[in-house]
Structure 1
Amino acid sequence: MATTPDWVPAGIDTDTPSVARLYDVYVGGEHNLDSDRETARSALDALPGLDIAIGANRAFLRRAVRYAAELGVSQFLDIGSGIPTPGNGNTHDVARGVIPGARVVYVDHDPVAVARSREILEGDPAAAAITGDFLAPKDILDHPEVRALIDLDQPVALMLVAVLHFIEDKDDPWEKVAQLRDALAPGSVLILSHAYVAKDSGVGTTSEELQRVYSDFGAQLQNRGPAETGRFFDGFRLVEPGLTGMADWRPDADTLADHPMQHTGVVGVGLKV
Structure 2
Amino acid sequence: MKSNQTYAITLVEYAYGPAFSNAMVYSGYYEMTGTTAVEYVIGVIEGPSGILLVDCGYDPQHEVAGRESRAQNHIKYQHPTKVLKKAGFNPEDVSGILLTHLHWDHADCLECFPNAKIYVQKDELFGWIETLSMPKEYNTLKVSVDICDIKECINALGEDRLVLLDGSVEDLFPGIDITVAPNGHSWAGSLITVNTKDGKYTFTGDTAYVKDNILGGRHDGVSMPNGYNCGSVKNVLITMQDILRLAQGDMNKVLISHDIGVWDCFESITTPEDDLRIAYVAK
TM range (shorter): 0.3 to 0.5
Larger relative contact order (C-alpha < 8 A, sep ≥ 6)?
Answer: 2
TM-score by length of 2: 0.37
Which has a greater percent of strand?
2
Which has a greater percent of helix?
1
